[in-house]
Amino acid sequence: MNALTPRFETYGDLQARNNRVVSLLNQVCQALSPTDAQCELAKGRYEAVGSWVAEATHDLLGGGHIFAQGSFATGTVVRPVNEAEFDVDLVYFISNPDAVMQPATFKKALGDRLREHGTYRKMLEEKPRCWRLNYANEFHLDITPSIPNDACWKGGMLVPDKAMRCWKESNPRGFRNLFNLRAKMNPIFRLRKSVTVDSMHSSVEPFPDQSRMDGYLRLIVQLAKRSRDIYFEDHDPRLWPISVILTTLASRSYEQCVRNNQFDDELELLHAVVSGMPDFIEASDVGPVRWAIWNETTKGENFAEKWNADPARAGAFYEWHARFMADIERLRDAAGLDVIRKSMTNAFGPTPVTAVFDAATSRVSDSRAGGNLMVAPGVGLVSGTSTRTGVRTNTFYGGG
């Protein structure tokens, strides 16, 4: 522990502070996530779109089905920094395609079918590999055509390349399933039973209920995405690492950390997982593939393929990663809610952090009025019942 690390009375005080930091990080991620109502609305929208396309009389489209891929599929959605709308990535998959069907043919048939719908026609926007339906002030649905990949024994599929000239390997369902398996892995925390914060009772929030995010991995991926979004506001956004790269590296590092290590607390786990992300990037000074981050669920899909055409992308990843690590370390060493708030704002932006701390301020005010406001070392004023020092109710008339 360096000279800048704050002193705590006991190990329990340090654990209480770290639990509080992780609780706040989780609340930041919840502020950036779609609500349950928004998720249900998106689900209803894409199911309606899928039914409409599947009911087409066109031979190329009949019998297909639609499903989510990307962030919605893995539960790691993060609201864009300067946009109110979420991006919902979908795949329209047909299991028995024409053997000689070209990507452009499939895409055109899909677009033609969407235009037949009076509402969808007004919302439709063509993108290089997919069709987008824009739901104003809600989200947009990106629908990518897909066919089976008979060469992939893991159940992979083929999607159009960006130029629409050929099919390329992918496996969004396999990727989702592997991510979900890793997310269910439970880390082992040292001394969790012997070093508790019982002396604090409910004065410092424990690590929050996992029902919303189903484990620590989703929290880590959301934080990485948000950190990237904030960092590249001031850097060339063309170079930012795509979300599937962050998700892949974080999930592989998480599995390695959980299988091979134990941790004092969740904050140490976060630091270890983020620190290990670059370990799963393959780099070579020879050959045409200098950088590789392989899709483990199908053969031939390199998530870092753009890095080989533009090596500046690799450099941008490592620069962002160094910044993210520094932000986590500042949070690890911060003492007092004011310092924690400043560190979180620098790392994840003012909007979600302000929302979380404003809500916390409201809770503190309610606790002060009820006489349940306490002081916790390394944290500051907290609400609840505690054996720590109480704070008198402020009547704002100079008296207690």
pLDDT tens-digit series, residues 195-240: 333 333 333 333 333 344 458 999 999 999 999 999 999 999 999 9
Query: Is there a single domain that holds both residue 157 and residue 235?
Result: no
Query: Is there a single domain that holds both residue 307 and residue 319?
Result: yes
Domain count, the chain: 2
How much is the pTM? 0.84
Looking at the chain, the whole-number percentage of residues with pLDDT higher than 70 is 80
The pair of structure tokens assigned to 387 is: 């054996």
Confidence of residue 96 (pLDDT cuts 50, 70, 90): confident
Summarize the confidence of residues 366-392 as an average pLDDT: 45
305, part of any domain: yes
CATH classification of the domain holding 88: 3.30.460.90
375, part of any domain: yes
Model pLDDT, residue 199: 32
Query: Is there a single domain that holds both residue 19 and residue 69?
Result: no
Model pLDDT, residue 337: 87
Q: How many residues does the chain have?
A: 400
Query: Is there a single domain that holds both residue 195 and residue 334?
Result: yes
**Do residues 26 and 205 make contact, with C-beta atoms less than 8 angstroms apart?**
no
Pairing of strands 282-283, 291-292: antiparallel
376, part of any domain: yes
Model pLDDT, residue 11: 56
Range of the domain at 61: 36-170
Query: Is there a single domain that holds both residue 189 and residue 307?
Result: yes
pLDDT tens per residue, range 127-158? 999 999 999 878 899 999 999 998 998 889 99
Question: Could you count the other beta carbons within 10 Å of the beta carbon of residue 168?
Answer: 16
Model pLDDT, residue 162: 82
Model pLDDT, residue 149: 92
294, part of any domain: yes
User: Which of 101, 136, 170 is the endpoint of a domain?
Assistant: 170
Give the phi and the psi of residue 117 in degrees, each rounded to 5: -90, 125
Model pLDDT, residue 200: 30
Query: Is there a single domain that holds both residue 162 and residue 247?
Result: no
393, part of any domain: no
Summarize the confidence of residues 362-374 as an average pLDDT: 53
Largest CA distance in the chain: 84
126 residue type, one letter: E
* Average predicted confidence (pLDDT) for the chain: 83
